[in-house]
Amino acid sequence: MGNNKKKQNKKSKKLTRARLFEIIQIGTRNDVASTAFDVALITIIILNILSLILESFDQFSYLDGIFRFLDIFSILFFLIEYILRLATADYLYPGKSRAAAVFAFIISFDGVIELLTILPFYYLSGFVVFRLLRVARIFRLFKINSTYDSFHVILSVFRDKISQIAASILIILILMLASSLCMYSVEHDVQPEAFPNALSGLWWAATTIFTVGYGDVHPITLMGKTIGIIVDFLAMAVVAIPTGIISAGFVERSTTLKRGLAKGDEKAGLITVTVGPETPYQGKEIGKIENKDDIDILVLIRDGVCAVPTRNIKVKNGDVLVCRRND
């Protein structure tokens, strides 16, 4: 009898942590508690950013007490949220042990940002750098509807095109280095203060390639000006490469989402699956389904909303999955 009671208590505790995890995650339309938490979190973040801006104006110095109260209240809110996320980290990383999941969250982007939103409260007098960490709170705006909005689409495009983007950035860095070396060779003798070494031209190269052109450092010799013109022409082509890659990625993702809203296109190699009691996908995570059936789930349609699926989302009854087989 005693063992059964212990098991029930343990199960109840596990279900409570699972519910907490659902609440602090991005809410769905039918989850009032989770949606309310999201609204509260977003409201506090916006109020923090607004107070950070207003307290920089002397005209609003009489509101310092309100700003201080808001700072203390938001810190307490963020601290409780951070503790809850640590306590439920094993639900976010189900394939890891509890300790490993906590560590994975701490070093993740969200974990670092959440920690940086708490640290400024504990800064010592004179340590201005800790106060500057308050600006990190603005990055928490990325949590707004991160499952269903364009933020996640942008991240997914960058993930899909990361190798091409990295290659284009490498080309830009090579062009900058070559430009710096060339400019040093022809301008050092006449402008030793502007181009004192081989890497001193990197600032000029950066402002030229990205068409900023501050004019604080510029060539004065005929050869230097000629190199500058050549670099200008090359820059127009090179800088357009990552822009084109990202634009193409958005077009591909947009096409996929439109097909998903149309519930699939067999001719395009897309398969639509409506999740129900008879399907084996209900209650399973996107990542596990993809690994088991060797498919890519491109679109998740839930409650009439088209979403970019992440690997840790659990599929529910009524979800529509737009998939592509990895043949």
Q: How many helices (H) and strands (E) does the chain have?
A: 12, 4
Q: pLDDT tier at 222 (50, 70, 90 boundaries)?
A: very high
* Residue ranges, CATH 3.30.70.1450, the chain: 262-325
Q: How many other C-beta atoms are found inside a 10 Å radius of the C-beta of residue 36?
A: 12
Q: Is the pLDDT of residue 184 over 50?
A: yes
What is residue 258's predicted lDDT score, i.e. its pLDDT?
57
The CATH T-level fold of domain 162-253 is Helix Hairpins (1.10.287)
Q: How confident is the model at residue 135 (pLDDT cuts 50, 70, 90)?
A: low
Give the pLDDT confidence score for residue 136 in this predicted structure.
63
- According to CATH, where is 1.10.287.70 located in the chain? 162-253
Identify the pLDDT of residue 225.
Answer: 92
Which of the pair, 128 or 42, is modelled with greater confidence?
42
The pLDDT value recorded for residue 120 is 61
- Model pLDDT, residue 267: 45
> Which of 19-33, 110-124, 305-319 has the least mean pLDDT?
110-124
* pLDDT per position as a tens digit, 227-247: 999 998 888 888 888 888 878
Q: What is the CATH number of domain 2-144?
A: 1.20.120.350
Confidence of residue 298 (pLDDT cuts 50, 70, 90): confident
Residue 268: pLDDT over 60? no
Helix (H) or strand (E) holding 307: strand 305-307
Q: CA–CA separation, 28 vs 22, rounded Å?
A: 9
6 confidence band (pLDDT: 50, 70, 90)? low
CATH 1.20.120.350 region(s) of the chain?
2-144
CATH architecture of 262-325: 2-Layer Sandwich (3.30)
How far apart CA 297 and CA 270 sit, in angstroms, is 9
